[in-house]
Chain A
Amino acid sequence: MDFAESTEQREFRLKARAWIARNVADLPHRNPTSQQEREVNSRWWQERMFADGWAGMSWPVEFGGKGVTPAEDSIFNAESALVDAPLPINLVGMNLAGPTIMVHGNDRQKKRYLNNILSGQEVWCQGFSEPGSGSDLASLSTKAEKIEGGWRVNGQKVWTSSGHLAQKCMLLTRTNPEVPKHKGITYLLADTKDFDIRPLVMVNRDAEFNEMFISDAFVSDDDLLGTPGEGWRYALSTLSFERGTIGYNLQVWARRAMDKLVRITQELGLYNDVAVQEQLGRFEAEVEAIRITGIRTMASVSQGEAPGPESSILKILWARTVQQINRYSIELRTAAGVLVDDEQAGDVVHHYLRSRGHSIEGGSDEIMKSIIAERVLGMPKSR
Chain B
Amino acid sequence: MPATLTETQMELVRIALSMSTGGVKRQREVLEGGQIPTEPTTTLVRDFGGLAVPESMGGAGGELTDLLVFVETLSQTIEPTPFFVHTAATQAAQGAGLDVRNLLASGELLTLGLMERAGQRWGEWQLPIDESSVSGTKIGVPFARQGGTIVITGAKNRIALAEIKSVTPHVGIDPSMQLGDAQVAGKPLEVAGEAGGAALRGALVLAATALGTARGALRMAAEYATTRRQFGQPIGSFQGIAHMLSDCFVDLEAAWSLLLFAGWSFGVGDEGASRAAHGAIGKAGSTAIHVTERALQVHGGIGVTWEADPHLYIRRVLTLNALVGGSNSHFRDLGAAISGLT
Would A366 and B239 be within 8 Å (CB), given that A1-B65, A285-B282, A372-B249 are in contact? yes
| Cross-interface CB contact of B226 among A284, A292, A369, A380, cutoff 8 Å | A380
Q: Determine if B276 is an interface residue (Cβ-Cβ < 8 Å).
A: yes
Interface members, chain A 269-319 (any B CB < 8 Å) = 271-272, 274, 276-282, 284-286, 288-290, 292-293, 295-296, 298-300, 302-303, 310, 313, 316-317
Q: Which residues of A contact B24 (CB under 8 A)?
A: none
| Cross-interface CB contact of A296 among B4, B63, B65, B237, cutoff 8 Å | B4
| Cross-interface CB contact of B3 among A296, A379, A381, cutoff 8 Å | A296
Would A382 and B332 be within 8 Å (CB), given that A1-B9, A295-B3, A300-B4 are in contact? no
Q: Kindly supply a per-residue 1/0 record for chain A positions 359-383, scoring 1 wherever the CB is within 8 Å of any chain B CB and 0 otherwise.
A: 0000000101110111011111111
Q: Kindly supply a per-residue 1/0 record for chain A positions 59-89, scoring 1 wherever the CB is within 8 Å of any chain B CB and 0 otherwise.
A: 0000000000000000000000000000000
Write the chain B residue with the least CB distance to A270: B339
Would A369 and B3 be within 8 Å (CB), given that A292-B260, A379-B222 are in contact? no
Q: Kindly supply a per-residue 1/0 record for chain B positions 327-342, scoring 1 wherever the CB is within 8 Å of any chain A CB and 0 otherwise.
A: 0101111111011111
With A1-B69, A266-B340 given, can you name 10 additional A-B contacts, CB distance below 8 Å? A1-B1, A1-B9, A3-B260, A281-B334, A299-B3, A310-B253, A374-B242, A377-B242, A379-B241, A382-B236
| Cross-interface CB contact of A277 among B5, B65, B69, B335, cutoff 8 Å | B335
Q: Determine if B6 is an interface residue (Cβ-Cβ < 8 Å).
A: yes
Chain B residues touching A, majority SS? helix
On whether the beta carbons of B342 and A379 are closer than 8 Å, the reply is: no
On whether the beta carbons of B239 and A1 are closer than 8 Å, the reply is: no
| Cross-interface CB contact of A262 among B218, B233, B237, B339, cutoff 8 Å | B339
Chain A residues touching B, majority SS? helix
A296 to B2, CA, bound (A): 8
Write the chain A residue with the least CB distance to B221: A377
On whether the beta carbons of B246 and A373 are closer than 8 Å, the reply is: yes
Contact-residue bracket for chain A: 35 or more
Q: Determine if B37 is an interface residue (Cβ-Cβ < 8 Å).
A: no
Write the chain B residue with the least CB distance to A4: B268
Would A366 and B338 be within 8 Å (CB), given that A3-B3, A380-B226 are in contact? no
Q: Which residues of A contact B279 (CB under 8 A)?
A: 281, 284-285, 288-289
On whether the beta carbons of B335 and A278 are closer than 8 Å, the reply is: yes
Write the chain B residue with the least CB distance to A302: B2
8 contacts between A and B (CB under 8 A): A1-B5, A280-B339, A281-B278, A288-B261, A293-B253, A379-B222, A379-B241, A380-B233
On whether the beta carbons of B341 and A2 are closer than 8 Å, the reply is: no
A206 CB, min distance to chain B CBs, angstroms: 28
On whether the beta carbons of A277 and B2 are closer than 8 Å, the reply is: no
Q: Determine if A116 is an interface residue (Cβ-Cβ < 8 Å).
A: no
9 shortest interchain CB distances as A-B pairs: A281-B331, A280-B335, A281-B335, A2-B1, A277-B335, A281-B334, A285-B279, A289-B254, A373-B242
On whether the beta carbons of A281 and B258 are closer than 8 Å, the reply is: no
On whether the beta carbons of B4 and A293 are closer than 8 Å, the reply is: no
Write the chain B residue with the least CB distance to A377: B222
Q: Kindly supply a per-residue 1/0 record for chain B positions 203-230, scoring 1 wherever the CB is within 8 Å of any chain A CB and 0 otherwise.
A: 0000000000000001000100110000
A271 to B335, CA, bound (A): 8
Q: Which residues of A contact B258 (CB under 8 A)?
A: 285, 288-289, 292
Q: Determine if B243 is an interface residue (Cβ-Cβ < 8 Å).
A: yes
Q: Determine if B245 is an interface residue (Cβ-Cβ < 8 Å).
A: yes
Using a CB–CB cutoff of 8 Å, the interface residues on chain B facing chain A are 1-6, 9, 63, 65, 69, 218, 222, 225-226, 233-234, 236-239, 241-243, 245-247, 249-250, 253-255, 257-258, 260-261, 263-265, 268, 276, 278-280, 282-283, 328, 330-336, 338-342
On whether the beta carbons of B237 and A369 are closer than 8 Å, the reply is: no
Write the chain A residue with the least CB distance to B234: A380
B122 CB, min distance to chain A CBs, angstroms: 12
Would A265 and B236 be within 8 Å (CB), given that A274-B332, A281-B278 are in contact? no
Q: Which residues of B contact A383 (CB under 8 A)?
A: 239
Write the chain B residue with the least CB distance to A372: B246
A280 to B342, CA, bound (A): 14
| Cross-interface CB contact of B341 among A266, A313, A373, cutoff 8 Å | A266
A330 to B4, CA, bound (A): 38
Write the chain A residue with the least CB distance to B218: A377
B270 CB, min distance to chain A CBs, angstroms: 9
On whether the beta carbons of A278 and B332 are closer than 8 Å, the reply is: yes
